[in-house]
Amino acid sequence: MSTEETTALILASASPQRRAILEQLGVAFEIRPAGVAEETTGAPAAVALANAVRKAAAVAEGAPGRTVVGVDTLVATEEGIWGKPAGEEEALAVLRHLAGRTHEVHSGLAVVEAGATRTATEVTRVAFRALDEAGLAWYVDAGEWRGRAGGYAIQGRGAALVRRIEGDYLNVVGLPVAALIDLLPSVLAYGTGR
């Protein structure tokens, strides 16, 4: 194991969005997806946090002495949690439901370090514009909904769906940086030197 591998932060996620955010910050990290089953029902903040803890704990078991970050992000309305659509029809149905309404994006964060687990949650409110069938088809046809909670990516074409947000934009992308720094102030010490 190289010195870089033993000093780099471990991100218990395969999310390309989370990877891009940490790279943008200049954080040295290693990707180790947890591969654990995720909860999908319950109070949104509690579900996101439980999933984040489960991910971080699973990866930390195989990485003693390392700092592991687990994150889970989900979209919720009064009707419940909206996961990743399985296909185009489901993506259309989710986006029809979100159109013209405000929903919440919840993230749970868990840091396992020196045998201790610290946690935090973040919520951002996102208001969608009213969307007609042509606008929905335009978005779904682009395929950006694949693998995205709530069926959209705010950092891509999904920006055209949004009227306004209240809270942390990066939380909607998939990693609430301010909450992560509050939870793990040393995260920026994992610099890549770039």
pTM: 0.92
- For residue 106, the cross-strand partners are 74, 123
Write down the pLDDT at residue 47: 97
Residue 8, pLDDT score? 83
The residue ranges of every structural domain in the chain are 3-189
**pLDDT (tens digit, 9 = 90+) per residue, 105-138?**
999 999 999 889 999 999 999 999 999 999 999 9
Which residue type occupies 130?
A
pLDDT at position 131, please? Answer: 94
pLDDT score at 4? 45
CA dihedral sign, ordered 101, 146, 71, 57: positive
Q: Which two tokens stand for residue 99?
A: 């159109």
Question: CA-CA distance, 129 to 184, in Å (whole number)?
Answer: 35
Percent of the chain beyond pLDDT 70? 95
Write the class of the CATH domain 3-189: alpha beta
72 assigned to active site: yes
The per-residue pLDDT for 192 is 59
Q: What is the pLDDT of residue 6?
A: 54
Burial of 70 by CB count in 10 Å (0-12 exposed, 13-18 middle, 19+ buried)? Answer: buried
For residue 190, the model assigns a pLDDT of: 81
Regions of the chain with pLDDT less than 50: 1-4, 193-194
Identity (one letter) of the amino acid at 126?
Answer: V
C-alpha to C-alpha distance for 122 and 143, rounded to whole angstroms? 27
**The pLDDT of residue 188:** 84
Strand-pair category, 68-77 with 9-11: parallel
Query: Are 104 and 77 spatial neighbours (Cβ–Cβ below 8 Å)?
Result: yes
